[in-house]
Each structure stands twice: as C-alpha cells, then as structure tokens.
Structure 1
Amino acid sequence: MPITTTIKDRIAEIVFDVPPVNAFDSTTWNSIPAMVTEAGRNPEVNVVLIRAAETARGFCGGVDIKEMQAHPERITVLNRGNYLTFKAVRDCEVPVVVAVHKFVIGGGIGICGASDTIFAAEDAYFSLPEVDRGAMGGASHLSRMLPLHKVRAAFFTGGNIPAAEMHRLGAVEKVVPREALVEEARAFCTVIASKSRKALVIAKEALNGLEPRDVDHGYRFEQGFTLEMYMHEDSQKARDAFVETGKAATF
C-alpha cells in the first residue's frame, strides 16, 4: 500500500510512499482521515508519527495537479479530503508528531500545521505555491506555525521557507541531519509514549480548546475562495503551465 500504518511500542507510524512526489489524488486524501482517527483511537497507541518513506523524494507534494487539470469537477471532493485529513490530525485523540524531509508543499503544510510537533531534516523546506497553481488554501494551517506577516509573504510569493528558518520562528521543534530524522522523531515519540494515555488524551483536548481561533473553520473559509479561484480561467492556465512546464504561468 502507498500509505501504511504500523504500531509498535505505543507508537503508530503512518508512512507516505506515493511515487513520484507524494502528491495525493482526491481518493487518497479522502482515505487518510480514517487512518489517523483509527490510530488515535487505538488503546495501544499513545502517539502518532506521520512521515514519508525514507526513500521518498520528499514528505508531501500536496495535491495531484494532473488530476485537477484533467478533472476540475473533482475539486469539491479534493477539498473535502483535505479538510477532513487536517481535521483528523488536529482532532486525533493523542499527540501527532510529523517528521519531514525535503519538500513540504500545499497539503503537506496542512498536515504539519494541524499536528502537535514537527521534526525536520536539514534539507526540508516549506512552501505554499497555491497562487502559482491557480488555487487557494493552506494559510489557516501555516498561521498556526508562523507570524502573520511571514505567512503573507510566503503565500503571495509562493516562496520556500527553509527548515532552519522554521525552527528559528518556533514552528519546528528540531532540525536534524536527513539520515537521523526517523531516529530522532521516534526517540521523541518514545518519550510521549511512556506517559499515561489518559493524561495525553485530556492534554490534547485541553490544548486544542485553548487556541485563540478555530483553525478548521478558518480552512473551510479559505476553501470557499479556492472554489472561486478554480472557476476562473487563470486557474486552468496556471495548472496547464505547471503540468506542461513545471513552472508558474506568466500573467
């Protein structure tokens, strides 16, 4: 399976391995919420670790732009899969740790932003190229990690934020060499796994409730603009350019 779940020592690992770049189609996005929810509900699990396969080119390339180019009518299905995935991560009964390497793009930002703690390899970078892809979305979850003006600069330019900068701004817990990423993330999860599951479940609910705004509502609000953008001719032009050249369209 391209996405697998294994459980060992009270740690559930959900591993992405969808070649070539872990860019998920609408069906895949809609399959992830149940995996996260089931892992969190398992009484033998105290923490969930989400990562890409060590052989994967990067953590997550977001959505499958080729599917959206060929089937624009699936945008609402994709939107729902994204929303439910991020909500499942944030609502997971136990803490969710994410370990990322290389690219964290689009939906990868949503997974990280909905999680509780992020570990990053030194080669990792975070990006929301939505403006260049004829879409919207992701700022609600990036806002859970970064200050307002940094979020806007990243969103308007579609630029990359290196792991070191994410760490400096407090979004990433630790930056480690690529070859040590899984080991370091598992070691952190082992500390969490040693705690009382009941205490972790209560703590997660309390911490979510303390947040000053509802990130899920914010993302749903954003998705209304996503649909509006997809209906504009510039959106199709942007997707065509990316699929054909791998670059942003010129307007």
Structure 2
Amino acid sequence: MQKTQYPGPAGALPFRIEREGGIAEVVIDHPPVNALDASGWHSLAEAFDAIGRDDSVRVIVVRGEGRGFCAGVDIKELATYPERIVAVNAGNYETFRALHRNPKPVIAAVHGFVLGGGIGLCGAADIVVASDCARFGVPEIDRGAMGGGAHLQRMFGVQKVRSMYFTGDMIGAAEAWRLGALERVVPLADLRHAALTIARQIANKSPAMVRLAKEALNGIEDGDLEDKYRWEQGFTLQAYMTQDSGEARAAFVEKRDAQFERFADPLGADGCN
C-alpha cells in the first residue's frame, strides 16, 4: 500500500491517504471517536478535492479506524468555542460537496457508529458498504444542532428520515440494508476487502465513461443536495441562538441529562391509558 501526500494544511491531520493502483483510500483516524473539529473538516475537504484532480486516481474509498466510522463534529470544541459554528458548518459543507461533486466515484466503508457528519459522508458517497456492527443516526436534536437530513434522505425514505431525526434513534446495518441504503453488509473483518473489490471493478472501467456517468447521475437527482444542506445549516445557526442548544451541548460534555421542560408520559408509567 502506497501512502500519498496531497497539498493541504501543515501539521498532524485526523486522517491519512493511502494508494493501491488507481484507488485512493482516505482513512479517518482521530481517536477516540473520529469526531473532527473545524480545521479537520476543512482539511478533509481539501484532500478530497485534491484527489479528485489527480488523474491517476479512479475511485475513492473513505473509511474509519478504531471504534467507529465517524461521530461527526467535535461537540467539545463547540461547547468551548460556540462562535466556531460558522467554521464547522463551512467545513462540513465543503467536505460533503467535495465527495458528492467529486469526478471520481466514492465508496464509503463504514463500521460501528455512523453519526452526524458520518451520515453526511455516507449520504454524499456513491456507494455505501457496511459492517454488520454499523449503526446509523443523526443525534443533532440532542446536541442542540440541526443538519444531516438532506444526506440522510439520500439514503432513506422521507418518513424514516423524520422518525430518526425527531427521536435521535439509531438503526442497525441489517435494517439499513433492508431499507435500501446499503450496497452490502459484511462482517467487520471483511469490510475493507468488500469495498476494495467494488472499487477495483470500477477502476477497471473507462475513466472517461465513469466520469461522465457520475456527472449524469448527479444531474438527474431530485433537487440540489448542496442547496438542501445549506438550507438546513441556516437552522443550525438559529438553533445555536437558543438556550436549549447551549444546555444540550453542556449536558453532552458534562455527561448528564439535559434539563428541558418535560411533560408527563401520556400513556402512564405502565404504558397503558
């Protein structure tokens, strides 16, 4: 496996890039949960754009190391520096745009938790392969933020997206496959091999034809993914102006329950009227 350096910010990056023939692997490796700060998201966007301009690359595979694929943004950064929400939003937007609009096909190979920005990466990709331990969710409503619905809706139906969005509940790989979001579900040990098998098949096609195919397929999608996501991000900024958003972030960092106005369970303690 060849390691390739692309132009980008100096210093340690929360990911690495490896090459195998015409396949570039972008491996997110930022313990403990692969949550990226504003700088990390911008660096990732620059890397995807640089790979897209590299004529020797035919397919991109993005995956994660450690406990899970990607837990999204670094909530601790935003709890300490709430004014960085604009930079984080911009980094998310540019990263997902760099994948969705990349001239090369993108395969996401995911395992463990796939949350928030991890959903954005999957929703922006062309193909998603998952380990049987993968779990998908958008916990933004419990973190005082918005966003992720546009990319989640590229994977699931409208009402499933709304259920996941309003409740913050996660679903497993088997259910995601049943609902058509995944190309393949495999044991964790086989995940990288499964993604590279598909990548090699695509890499052996005419690069000119594949590039035209991706542009054509993007063009026939329903609506503009980037515009939809930008619309959502405006509501994240609005959310950050509320007291509830600050309380949600503080509770997450302090590992306690958020204190919102709560109402009694209408079904009663025993679950019956």
| 2:63 paired with 1:51 | yes
Instruction: Indicate if the aligned counterparts of 2:14 and 2:40 stay in contact, CA closer than 8 A.
Output: no
Instruction: Indicate if the aligned counterparts of 1:101 and 1:124 stay in contact, CA closer than 8 A.
Output: yes
Change in CA separation of 1:39 and 1:176 when aligned onto 2, cut-off 3 Å: same
Which aligned pairs between 1:84-95 and structure 2 lie closer than 5 A? 84-95=94-105
More helix by share: 1
| 2:189 paired with 1:179 | yes
- Mapped partners of 1:224, 1:214: distance in 2: 16
> Secondary structure of the equivalent of 2:182?
coil
- Percent identity of paired positions between Structure 1 and Structure 2: 50
- Mapped partners of 1:246, 1:87: distance in 2: 35
Instruction: Indicate if the aligned counterparts of 2:129 and 2:195 stay in contact, CA closer than 8 A.
Output: yes
**Paired position in structure 2 for 1:231:** 241
**Paired position in structure 2 for 1:4:** 16
Change in CA separation of 1:77 and 1:124 when aligned onto 2, cut-off 3 Å: same
- Mapped partners of 1:237, 1:246: distance in 2: 10
- Mapped partners of 2:24, 2:203: distance in 1: 10
Q: 2:162 aligns with which of 107, 128, 152?
A: 152
Q: 1:62 aligns with which of 72, 82, 92?
A: 72
Which aligned pairs between 1:37-186 and structure 2 lie closer than 5 A? 37-53=49-65, 56-186=66-196
Structure 1 ranges of 4+ moved more than 3 A: 246-251
Structure 1 residue 176 displacement after superposition: 0.3
The residue type equivalent to 1:98 in the other structure is A
| 2:30 paired with 1:24 | no
**Paired position in structure 2 for 1:241:** 251
Change in CA separation of 1:246 and 1:46 when aligned onto 2, cut-off 3 Å: farther
| 2:48 paired with 1:36 | yes
Structure 1 residue 7 displacement after superposition: 1.7
The residue type equivalent to 1:151 in the other structure is V
Structure 1 residue 108 displacement after superposition: 0.3
Structure 1 residue 8 displacement after superposition: 1.5
| Number of corresponding residues | 249
The residue type equivalent to 2:52 in the other structure is G
- Mapped partners of 1:2, 1:152: distance in 2: 31
Change in CA separation of 1:17 and 1:245 when aligned onto 2, cut-off 3 Å: same
- Mapped partners of 1:41, 1:134: distance in 2: 36
Structure 1 residue 123 displacement after superposition: 0.3
Segment of structure 1 superposing worse, 146-155 or 6-15: 6-15
Structure 1 residue 249 displacement after superposition: 4.9
Change in CA separation of 1:233 and 1:47 when aligned onto 2, cut-off 3 Å: same
- Mapped partners of 1:32, 1:246: distance in 2: 31
Change in CA separation of 1:247 and 1:92 when aligned onto 2, cut-off 3 Å: farther
Structure 1 residue 24 displacement after superposition: 0.3
Instruction: Indicate if the aligned counterparts of 2:24 and 2:57 stay in contact, CA closer than 8 A.
Output: yes
Cα shift readout 1:7-32 (whole Å, capped 9, x = no counterpart): 22100000000011000001101111
Instruction: Indicate if the aligned counterparts of 1:242 and 1:249 stay in contact, CA closer than 8 A.
Output: no
Could you tell me which runs of 5 or more consecutive residues in structure 2 were left unpaired when the two chains were aligned.
Answer: 1-12, 262-273
> Secondary structure of the equivalent of 1:28?
helix
Could you tell me which runs of 5 or more consecutive residues in structure 1 were left unpaired when the two chains were aligned.
Answer: none
- Structure 2-normalised TM-score? 0.89
> Secondary structure of the equivalent of 1:14?
strand
Cα shift readout 1:165-223 (whole Å, capped 9, x = no counterpart): 11111110000001110111111111011111111111110000010111100000000
The structure that has the greater radius of gyration is 2
